[in-house]
Homo-oligomer: A and B are copies of this chain.
Amino acid sequence: MSSKKELRIGMVGYGFMGRTHSNGYRRVGNFFPELEYQPVLKAICGRNLERTQAFADQWGYESVETDWRKLIARDDIDAIDICTPNNMHAEIAIAAAEAGKMVLCEKPLARTVAEAQPMVDAIEKAGVPNTVYFNYRRLPSVTLAKQLIDAGKLGKIFHYRANFLQDWTISPELPQGGEGLWRLDNDAAGSGVTGDLLAHCIDTAMWLNGGIKDVSAMTETFIKERVHTGTGEKQEVTIDDACMFHCHFDNGSLGLFESTRYARGHKALYTFEINGEHASIKWNLHDLSRLEYFDHRDESQERGWRSIHVTDGDHPYMDKWWVPGLSIGYEHSFVHQISDFLKALQEGKPCSPTFREAQETQKVCEAVLESAKTKSWKDTGVNW
């Protein structure tokens, strides 16, 4: 392993995403041995020293920081990985870019288009390698969908529909704000399900089916007040608990999107379906090793939705793992994104989605929220 180039990682944030990214960095070398770069977990940064140290011990980070500005200032760090709540993405990313660091940022890029724009500008001005963790693209089943579409198997697309359904905020007793619950706090998150869940759906959709032109949306906040963990007081809830919209894609197909945290019985049910002239595709995150595929060109008596178990050696990424029939899981999407980032690095190419692409997703999110607020159609201004 001594012949490998080191990519020295400095990570900010050690929550849920801190774990998924750390795991990605630690696993990638075992399964993608051909890569020239080997990530090294140089430093983890968090405000609480004790907990940051515990995380460092658990994951093998060489050092800890409690001030992200110091982390960025260090010479022995090549890349900054941002796993903080959304409201800190911009400041950290801009500072990192200005310091010449590569930046890998958790999604969504920012809380608003306005907040994201200087991030994109700074990244592009600095010319540093960058990516945003819309990790679901890198599940083998989703990548296979992309390959089938790009190979023209579906023909002209008529419909794209996606849902992201959860049920974890139904109880009115759940507070907003604070660790693990900042996603319910509009100041920290920027929005509710739109930025947290629909952003994933929108990224996948535009990757698979091209730009979204205009949208008509509706949002709802079912629980109007929750105790805020910070203040201990009941406060108005200002995030969107649920959001749904229909839209036109640039290619003339129709989109239908929905997300909620009030769909009892669904934990993280991200689903999408694409209907084309010749074939259709269905997918869901709860059964992530499967892709459902219908091909109208099959002999008519034998046509049916095919349940493809995406675990063969010729399926995307799967030659790196086990043998046919043996599934991988959610976390592998991060290993794959990091592998793709390292490969892009050695080839001198961008790793999609870049900050610029993530900004386009941000534009759709914002148009959606604006449409819901004004009860009118909104152009997204997306340039995909």
Q: Which residues of A are interface residues toward B (Cβ below 8 A)? A: 1, 16, 19-20, 22-23, 26-27, 29-30, 33, 54, 57-60, 144, 147-148, 153-154, 158-159, 161, 165-168, 170, 216, 218, 220, 222, 242, 244-246, 248, 254, 256, 258, 260, 262-269, 275-280, 285-296, 298, 300-309, 311-312, 314-315, 321-332, 375-377
Contact = CB atoms under 8 A, between A and B. Distances in A.
Residue of A54, A245, A266 ringed by the most chain B CB atoms within 10 A? A266
Contact of A168 (B267, B307, B324): B324
Nearest to A327: B329
Contacts of A332: 329
15 contacts: A22-B30, A26-B26, A27-B27, A154-B264, A158-B242, A158-B263, A216-B375, A265-B305, A267-B309, A267-B311, A267-B312, A292-B304, A293-B302, A307-B307, A328-B329
Contacts of A263: 158-159, 275, 280
3 shortest A-B CB distances, which residue pairs? Answer: A268-B325, A267-B325, A265-B294
A159 B262 contact: yes
Contacts of A167: 275, 296
A148 B244 CA distance: 26
A376 B180 CA distance: 38
Given A304-B306, A306-B307, A328-B331, 14 more contacts: A19-B322, A20-B322, A216-B375, A254-B260, A265-B305, A266-B275, A267-B309, A267-B325, A287-B289, A290-B304, A300-B312, A303-B308, A307-B307, A376-B376
Chain A, interface SS category? mixed
Contacts of A222: 158
A324 B105 CA distance: 23
B300 A304 contact: no
A246 B218 contact: yes
A159 B314 contact: no
A129 B329 CA distance: 31
A51 B245 CA distance: 48
Contacts of A280: 263-266
A301 B170 contact: no
Given A57-B1, A298-B306, A330-B328, A254 B244 contact: yes
